[in-house]
Amino acid sequence: MRQRPSSAIPAVVHVDARLVLDGARIAVEWAASRPGASAEFAHARVFLIAQDGRRTYLGVADGSPARFAVPASLPAGEYRVELDAYSSGSWGGGHLSGRGLSEPIGVGRTAGGER
């Protein structure tokens, strides 16, 4: 069995996520957490992960920090932010450079029924 070189293994990415602006947006920050891993990520795909594993795509970030709108159709509940980071400026190469998952955050409605 061939082993991948350590440089081919995606870095573990520390992801910090929080709700801002009365829950209407999610702020996401990230950085490589493995010593020697590239801290320079050109962009990242960002998803919300529900407790049942369902993924909701939020968008592409060109750098950290980034903010994303909470989809109006998203049910209230506990979610984690999943991030796939790429060090290349090109999507064509498809080389995943890092992956991370935030601690759970609660996404829901305010007392007035609004997000």
Give pLDDT tens digits for 29-47: 877 665 555 456 778 889 9
17 falls within a domain = yes
Number of domains the chain is built from: 1
Strand segments, DSSP code E, in the chain are 11-20, 25-32, 43-50, 55-61, 66-69, 77-86, 98-101, 105-107
112 falls within a domain = no
Higher pLDDT, 10 or 46: 46
Beta bridge partners of 31: 14
Averaged pLDDT of the chain: 75
91 falls within a domain = yes
Q: 8 Cβ partners below 8 Å, 6+ apart?
A: none
115 falls within a domain = no
State yes or no: pLDDT of 114 exceeds 70. Answer: no
pTM listed for this prediction: 0.74
State yes or no: pLDDT of 101 exceeds 50. Answer: yes
